[in-house]
A and B are shown apart, each in its own frame.
Chain A
């Protein structure tokens, strides 16, 4: 028998810090020692809590001036100017206000000293700090305006453009993993003049994660979400709309509809809706599926809203799979591994048992896990079937050797081979929203955020076919506006899905997918011809004359919508065309689905404090959404109305 490992070694083991030999020794010890196993489990839980909570801290930024200065120095090395320093201790202000100054002040002073001392004289614990008066601190935190000597404030609604919201413009590499919620900054699409930009081109997006994330911020965190987390198209597409599907036996796998009405938040503008409805597939005729569940079981997944929810969600999915469907389960943490080789669902019990046996521990190496999962999916590839990797994770891929760009390349390649990707995000704290959205986008996939069993049920059962069965891929939309009818337009949302006009006809350019029965909605805010759009004019060209209007422009057509898509296993795109004729009805007369989507868009703009939000208030949004609830079978629209109410309440409390 070996000597038992000391406690610090157990911690190192739990955190995945030991090498193979040392780990094996601890493994051997754990096998016969339940107390030590419990300790390891608790250490991992603490690690998970810490990772989550530290990730939720605000991320400050340099000032624009500082950033510019650094960049200037980069282009002209050796010319670095120091910025004027303003020595200022913010926390002293808090201390003074909170009236617990003296005692704590000293401790903080000592804190700095102890940091210094630790460099010279490492020690586990600095005695003086033990005098820290936790109770006094605790009370102080609850009273007054202060929260502590940190600058780690949290985002507030009025700070719509502040630190947190514009957390990053580029994402952390997996191997450098910052554990925090990463939302890309969104720069809203501006109004564009039709005369200068007659074409608007974008890829569809069926993701819905942003809505669940916004909901979680409002209902659980009790704060307005950072603007970067609000992707308006995802809010709109979270809801199901009753658009007519394609004709039975028709040529196209989906139907498209175009509709126009007055814009509710700016009555002199119009709102144009492009609505798409994918063909429904009856559960019985769903093609056989080959799924690989790739589950993140790193330490931070141990919390109840993560791995236990992942397991429950996957169990729910397995329950409805048929005996010809296959499931393999791979996990990743410190090391990646296969928990269950591809198994047909006539042996469902084995699949469920494998799911049950999972527990959280170790750190993440998502990169290797993805490689493994795709390999498994390819081994069992079902031609004509559904081949999909379902990745469940709380966040980033932090220990791997694979960088994010390599990962994206890998996923893109695999998607071309017919294995699609679904990413399900769980938990809060270190959700790498931007990474997940990008990965799923590149992987011919979709991304949903699951915070409750109800959400899991929506994504995996109610919309199972939409989530898992792709009926058309690389779906692009191009709208050509008639300058005789339209002065300017603005695409609402889809900011990270904009394509160049020439990409529309380029079949090598990737775009979004539509699942069976899916509805996709895009809204344009349109300025009718003859009204000023307030957009700056492009300077006149010297060598070209302004385009002349064609005959068609003099008719009553407002715009033409062109759609391109490919069959799930096809390489060549098919073109669909729709025209919209003049006739902007009153908003109140528009279909309920139209009005509801408009209310959701308006809500998103208010949350983002968009300069285009117009005259609409949260009250108006609430009223409009409430009146446009329609049948609302699952109560999602009613929940939306509540969410607006919550946002309003939170705004009034600040």
Chain B
């Protein structure tokens, strides 16, 4: 890789290059739409600028996800306070920019897995995503979510067991023949 500049701009750019998409996906899951996710992620990067770089640099991914998560949850809390649930159903202005994610289900396996994931409780979905979409370890996930490591392990285990049953039933994973050694 060509040497990354040590300036704040260079540092920020490389952090954005790496984490912008993953953070948006993550925040989008918590918040339910991309627009507010963008606001949260924007603010996460702005906070990164204000943070002590030496402290955030070592655990940049964890730092960003933690801040992003807290911000997203803040927004959820606020919006819940400000807007009664019923209002969600009334809102019907198309966003104009994003198309409804219709094509997501076009691909059979994608649809199947996505549906199976959505059938899981939100906290299981979240840790599974942190683990398998973002490659975090149990310990890092614990750091990000504030759960204990064993709790993270339990959530992931429970989620996987459910998916395993589903995938087995739909043939998405192969039944091992005899001894799986």
Residues of chain A touching chain B, judged by Cβ–Cβ distance below 8 Å, are 7-9, 11-12, 15, 17, 34, 37-38, 40-43, 45-47, 49-51, 53-63, 66-67, 69-71, 73-75, 77-78, 80, 82-83, 85-97, 101-102, 105-106, 108-112, 114-119, 122-126, 129-130, 132, 134, 137-138, 141-142, 145-154, 156, 159, 167-173, 176-180, 221-223, 304, 363, 398-399, 404-405, 408
Contact = CB atoms under 8 A, between A and B. Distances in A.
Contact of A47 (B28, B32, B160, B179): B160
20 contacts: A11-B161, A12-B138, A37-B181, A40-B180, A54-B129, A57-B104, A63-B38, A69-B42, A86-B36, A90-B32, A92-B91, A106-B85, A118-B147, A124-B151, A124-B154, A125-B124, A138-B115, A150-B29, A153-B101, A178-B135
Interface in B70-119: 73, 76-77, 79-80, 83, 85, 88-89, 91-95, 98-107, 109-111, 113-115, 117-119
Given A60-B24, A147-B101, A42 B32 contact: no
B22, B98, B168: which has the most chain A beta carbons within 10 Å? B98
Nearest to B41: A62
Given A69-B42, A90-B33, A176 B154 contact: no
Contacts of A41: 176, 180
Contact of B180 (A38, A56, A96): A38
A119 B145 contact: yes
A105 B86 CA distance: 9
Contact of A154 (B89, B103, B168, B173): B103
B77 A73 contact: no
Given A49-B113, A156-B99, A115 B126 contact: yes
Interface in B13-55: 13-14, 16-18, 20-22, 24-25, 28-30, 32-39, 41-43, 45-46, 49-50
Nearest to B3: A405
A15 B36 CA distance: 33
Contacts of B14: 170
Given A50-B132, A108-B32, A398-B135, A37 B179 contact: yes
A129 B117 CA distance: 13
Contacts of A137: 115, 118-119
Contacts of A63: 38
A173 B126 CA distance: 22
A75 B9 contact: yes
Contact of B167 (A46, A134, A221): A46
A109 B76 CA distance: 10
A87 B79 contact: yes
A216 to B, nearest CB: 12
B104 to A, nearest CB: 4
A70 B23 CA distance: 15
A46 B157 CA distance: 11
Contacts of B42: 62, 66, 69-70, 83
10 A-B pairs with least C-beta separation: A170-B17, A59-B21, A153-B101, A111-B122, A118-B123, A405-B1, A53-B113, A8-B157, A54-B133, A177-B135
Contacts, number: 343
Contact of A126 (B92, B123, B128): B123
B2 to A, nearest CB: 9
B33 A151 contact: yes
Contact of B134 (A101, A123, A171, A178): A178
A105 B89 contact: yes
A178 B77 contact: no
Interface in B125-181: 126, 128-129, 131-135, 137-138, 145-148, 150-151, 153-158, 160-161, 163-164, 167-168, 172-174, 176, 179-181
A126 B18 contact: no
B8 interface: yes
Given A53-B113, A70-B16, A109 B148 contact: no
Nearest to B103: A154
B16, B77, B129: which has the most chain A beta carbons within 10 Å? B16
B61 interface: yes
Contact of B20 (A53, A62, A141): A62
A42 B101 contact: no
A107 B49 CA distance: 37
A262 B158 CA distance: 64
B67 interface: no
B150 to A, nearest CB: 8
Nearest to A6: B157
Contacts of B25: 57, 59-60, 152
Contacts of A159: 99
A69 to B, nearest CB: 7
Given A122-B148, A222-B106, A7 B18 contact: no
A69 B39 CA distance: 12
Given A12-B138, A90-B95, A151-B34, A145 B118 contact: no
A42 B165 CA distance: 10
B98 A7 contact: no
Given A63-B38, A167-B21, A179-B133, A153 B103 contact: yes
Contacts of B77: 116
A46 B158 CA distance: 12
A109, A176, A398: which has the most chain B beta carbons within 10 Å? A176
B140 to A, nearest CB: 10
B103 A86 contact: no
B179 A96 contact: no
